[in-house]
Amino acid sequence: MKKEFEKFTISQGAVLIRDNKCLILEFANSPGKWGLPGGRIDAGEKGEDAFRREIKEELNLSNFKTVDIVDFDIWYTQKGTAGSAVAFLIQNDTDEIKLSSEHIKMAWVTEEEIDNYSYVWPNAKRMLKRGFLRHEKYA
């Protein structure tokens, strides 16, 4: 019997922390749902290139440092397709954030406030909380 392997949509997200608050974004196509800045890898694109492109597109940041991998997750969407995400801790303490049209607004939230929001990724709360732990290590 031939084995079948699952095909995944791969997304990359950024945890950006400034002044003990992390940045989350409300999605224009899902009002009331929040998430990490980032996005999917285009066909044929290298992971690092895709991540930098997405952060530039969504936040207008091109000068940032990728510090560490924070977390990853795999899940099935409501449509039954497989999704996966990798969250990276990034660092940029000074540049102004300018949102793309993909997002309605942004919020800077403390670790304690993370649970007050509804997220598009099932384990985004865990990813953000792990981001704070990794940030403490590198602060």
SS3 77: coil
Whether residue 139 has pLDDT greater than 80 = no
Q: Quick one: pLDDT at residue 108?
A: 98
What is the rounded distance in angstroms from the CA atom of residue 74 to the CA atom of residue 122? 9
pLDDT per position as a tens digit, 90-130: 999 999 999 999 999 999 999 999 999 999 999 999 999 99
Q: Is 1 part of any domain?
A: no
Q: What does the pLDDT look like over 41-93, one tens digit per residue?
A: 999 999 999 999 999 999 999 999 999 999 999 999 889 999 999 999 999 99
- Report pTM: 0.93
Both structure tokens of 66: 């990728």
Q: Could you tell me the residue range of the domain that residue 79 belongs to?
A: 8-138
Structurally, the chain folds into a number of domains equal to 1
Question: Which domain CATH number covers 103?
Answer: 3.90.79.10
